[in-house]
């Protein structure tokens, strides 16, 4: 908002200087003479050219001044906005720095120092979260390996016992403990 007001004031001051110094000052006679000479070359008489100049330029001087002020405002506004877009381009480059996993800290111009600090904080937070996710993934993988090992050891023993039982052809039902034949007795045996 302040920038727009500043641009408007600057356009008005520069426009006023141009009107007073150049249009109504130094070029007060050259510009009309140039236009009248141009119209004479287009086969108008001096009186007709002077009348056309008076109707077009002198009667509409205020409109030309307004158009001139608007053009000056737009030029100055473009220059002011281009500086702002330059800041946005710098912020965009530093965001690419964050996304590119660079270890370089975020550095912006002094006007954008608070944004620079926030982007550095964001970058550190993302690094910490990435490290925590990697560590969590490693812990999960270690847990799976340990569980697989812990399950594999007793299963190997059970498989070995079952293989031994399967290989014993002369084994009778009496030689097998009742805990294997009657599973509900297993619970009672543990309760006692």
pLDDT in tens, 133-143: 999 999 999 88
How far apart CA 95 and CA 116 sit, in angstroms, is: 10
How far apart CA 185 and CA 187 sit, in angstroms, is: 5
Mean pLDDT in residue range 99-119: 84
4 neighbors 77 (Cβ within 8 angstroms):
yes
Q: Could you report the per-residue pLDDT of 32-84, keeping only the tens digit for each?
A: 788 888 888 888 888 888 888 888 877 777 787 788 888 888 887 888 788 77
- What predicted TM-score, i.e. pTM, was given to this entire model? 0.45
């Amino acid at each position: 908002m302040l920038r727009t007001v500043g641009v408007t004031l600057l356009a008005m001051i520069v426009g006023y200087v141009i009107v007073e110094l150049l249009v109504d000052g130094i070029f007060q006679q050259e510009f009309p003479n140039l236009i009248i000479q141009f119209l004479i070359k287009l086969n108008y008489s001096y009186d007709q050219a002077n009348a056309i100049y008076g109707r077009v330029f002198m009667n509409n001087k205020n409109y030309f001044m307004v158009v001139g002020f608007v053009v000056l405002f737009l030029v100055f506004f473009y220059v002011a906005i281009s500086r702002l877009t330059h800041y946005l381009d710098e912020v965009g480059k530093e965001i690419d720095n964050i996304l590119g996993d660079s270890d370089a800290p975020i550095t912006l111009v002094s006007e954008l120092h608070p944004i620079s600090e926030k982007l550095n904080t964001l970058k550190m937070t993302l690094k910490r979260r990435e490290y925590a996710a990697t560590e969590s993934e490693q812990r999960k993988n270690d847990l799976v390996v340990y569980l697989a090992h812990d399950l594999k050891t007793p299963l190997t023993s059970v498989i070995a016992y079952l293989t031994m039982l399967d290989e014993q052809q002369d084994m009778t039902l009496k030689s097998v403990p009742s805990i294997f034949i009657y599973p509900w007795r297993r619970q009672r045996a543990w309760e006692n």
